[in-house]
Structure 1
Amino acid sequence: MNIAPDILIAAAELIALCKTNGEMITTAESCTGGLITGSLTAVDGSSSVVDCGFVTYSNEAKQGLIGVSEDMLVIHGAVSKPVAIAMAEGALSRAPLATLSVAVTGIAGPGGGSEQKPVGLVHLACAGNNRPTLHRRRVYDGDRHAVRKATIIEAFNMLAEMTDKKPV
Structure 2
Amino acid sequence: MSEANGLPARLIEKAREVVDANRAAGRRILVVESCTGGLVGAAITEVPGSSDVFEGGFITYADEAKTGFVGVSGDVIETFGAVSIAAAWAMAQGGLERSRADVAVAITGVAGPGGGSAHKPVGTVVFARAERGNDPRRVVADKKDFGDLVRAEIRFQAALCALELLMPDAPAP
Give the C-alpha shift of residue 159 in structure 1: 1.2
Please give the root-mean-square deviation of Cα atoms over the aligned residues, in Å: 1.0
Q: CA deviation at 1:144?
A: 0.4
Runs of 4 or more consecutive aligned structure 1 residues displaced over 2 Å after TM superposition: none
Tell me the equivalent position of 1:152.
Answer: 159
* Distance (whole Å) between structure 2 residues aligned to residue 39 and residue 164 of structure 1: 20
Is the counterpart of residue 136 in structure 1 residue 142 in structure 2? Answer: yes
SS of the aligned residue for 2:166 comes to helix
Are 2:92 and 1:88 equivalent residues in the alignment?
yes
**How far is 1:158 from its partner?**
1.0
The equivalent position to 1:51 in structure 2, one of 45, 48, 55, is 55
Query: What TM-score comes out, normalization by structure 2 length?
Result: 0.91
SS in 2 for 1:154: helix
Tell me the residue number matched to 2:128.
125
Listed as ranges, the gaps of 5+ residues in structure 2 are none
For residues 70 and 9 of structure 1, what CA distance do their matches in structure 2 show?
A: 37
Match for residue 105 of structure 2?
Answer: 102
Quick check: 1:62 aligned with 2:66? yes
1:111 corresponds to: 114
Q: Which amino acid aligns with 1:135?
A: A
Counterpart-to-counterpart distance in 1, 2:13 and 2:33: 21
Which protein has the bigger helix share? 1
Identical aligned pairs, as a percentage? Answer: 40
